[in-house]
Structure 1
């Protein structure tokens, strides 16, 4: 923020950007100028109606900017600016944490109610919805999100090139899922050179085999979720398609099983 010719105006602007109201900002700066004051003195110095000044000063105390000295009349002193900002930061952080907890609690309640409602809505569990995505980065990010919520199995049928890029971007997610007991199987096309470093790392968390014919890229998650990816006519463009369908999953998983039986282990 640029300096103002009037320091009071400039300082009030800073405090307002921090989240204080006009009256709160003016009252604190007035106390810094004047020092410890009665409410009436602070009201006059800050040009705030006396009917409002008490609430303003009490709010400032709660935010860490003002101390209140008991007596008749009460007196209000400004907290040192450095300490005031530190206290205000803690105050805002506590408010933020409280709001996050509220969001998490409400979110859990919403999910519980949604689960109950979906179980009652006829046909909802049989509804297959497909979504398509373009751009490689978007597709990889989508697959990372799906991977991180997978609980039982991941089955991939892909090219060595695509797997190398996927493994480099998501190796931590794959390793974490494997450590949680997720079974990861990977079928790679045998007509592409393998990257030894990638394969050695991936072998720690996945069972990898080579197949003679892998034309498409199929990724299966948790007996339901499916991602298909393929290049468009433009060699630099990709399209990803995702859907949740236990019926389609069963068909593709059967295809995977057939290819897995015909595949060969990684070369020694």
Structure 2
């Protein structure tokens, strides 16, 4: 069981509250119903601040003011708070998605497209590379690289890392597998894990002795993982759009696959 200070810190971070809000909500949960004075005494929050904190908790769905005199407050059950927060996040996400969907119809967006198009031919004539930092950006780049594949897509990583990215990779792989694109999925790891992944995806997965993680599209673009840090902000990858380099790298991959046959 966590100590009181540990519980306060964990609840504060998980529910995105400040320290006073956390202490007041926990005090209210432990009492069930209490006046502002009782809450201040139980939580250790100055009474002069308790009223503002309770108002904030009310506004955000963590507490309810009881009708009648004297004024008392009720804690909203944790499970109801979680569901309310989930709905709030979903609504915010839908609003943002709608905003970004509609942005394509704006004059500003069309101007951005025009600016980008004017540089496409210049960029096409040279090899380019870049560093991708953070799990969200890495996942986005994985999707982007694989979505560019017209003829062939190669996915190679360890079975352990595949399971960590399965929510991202499963729909991409199923979409590629249902197309005319030549899809190669190669994993290193225990035979039982690779077999389970193969059965889940409904495709043939090759076993290789390669501990690296990379994603290749049409042997012209590659995203190569430099680390698979548990800290999502520390994940790092390099992206190359270089036909000569990627084709040479792909030949080494072909040799590694053939050596396992």
**TM-score normalised per structure 2:** 0.50
Match of 1:126 in 2: 126
Match of 2:249 among 252, 255, 258: 252
The DSSP-based 3-state class of the residue aligned with 1:185 is strand
Match of 2:226 in 1: 230
The reply on whether 1:160 has 2:159 as its aligned counterpart is yes
The reply on whether 1:262 has 2:254 as its aligned counterpart is no
Gaps of 5+ in 2: 1-100
Residues 156 and 186, structure 1, Cα contact 8 Å, conserved in 2: yes
The DSSP-based 3-state class of the residue aligned with 1:188 is strand
The DSSP-based 3-state class of the residue aligned with 1:144 is helix
Match of 1:110 in 2: 114
1:173-220 deviation digits (Å, cap 9, x = unpaired):
22112222221112211457516543213243xx42112x21311221
Match of 1:29 in 2: none
1:87-236 matched pairs, under 5 angstroms? 100-101=104-105, 106=110, 110=114, 113-114=117-118, 118-119=120-121, 121=122, 124-134=124-134, 136-191=135-190, 193-194=192-193, 196-204=195-203, 207-211=204-208, 213-231=209-227, 236=231
Residues 131 and 236, structure 2, Cα contact 8 Å, conserved in 1: no
Classify 1:102/1:138 alpha carbon distance in 2 versus 1 (closer, same or farther; 3 Å). Answer: closer
Classify 1:98/1:215 alpha carbon distance in 2 versus 1 (closer, same or farther; 3 Å). Answer: closer
Match of 2:70 in 1: none
> C-alpha distance in 2, partners of 1:226/1:99?
30
Gaps of 5+ in 1: 1-96
Residues 150 and 221, structure 1, Cα contact 8 Å, conserved in 2: yes
Classify 1:197/1:124 alpha carbon distance in 2 versus 1 (closer, same or farther; 3 Å). Answer: closer
The structure with more radius of gyration: 1
Classify 1:109/1:192 alpha carbon distance in 2 versus 1 (closer, same or farther; 3 Å). Answer: same
Residues 128 and 244, structure 1, Cα contact 8 Å, conserved in 2: yes
Residues 131 and 243, structure 1, Cα contact 8 Å, conserved in 2: no
Please report how far the alpha carbon of residue 253 of structure 1 lies from its aligned counterpart in structure 2 after TM superposition: 0.5
Please report how far the alpha carbon of residue 170 of structure 1 lies from its aligned counterpart in structure 2 after TM superposition: 2.7
**TM-score normalised per structure 1:** 0.49
Please report how far the alpha carbon of residue 101 of structure 1 lies from its aligned counterpart in structure 2 after TM superposition: 4.6
Please report how far the alpha carbon of residue 149 of structure 1 lies from its aligned counterpart in structure 2 after TM superposition: 3.4
1:23-102 matched pairs, under 5 angstroms? 100-101=104-105
The DSSP-based 3-state class of the residue aligned with 2:205 is strand
Tell me how large the CA RMSD over aligned residues is. 3.5
> C-alpha distance in 1, partners of 2:142/2:177?
16
Residues 161 and 192, structure 1, Cα contact 8 Å, conserved in 2: no
Classify 1:104/1:257 alpha carbon distance in 2 versus 1 (closer, same or farther; 3 Å). Answer: farther
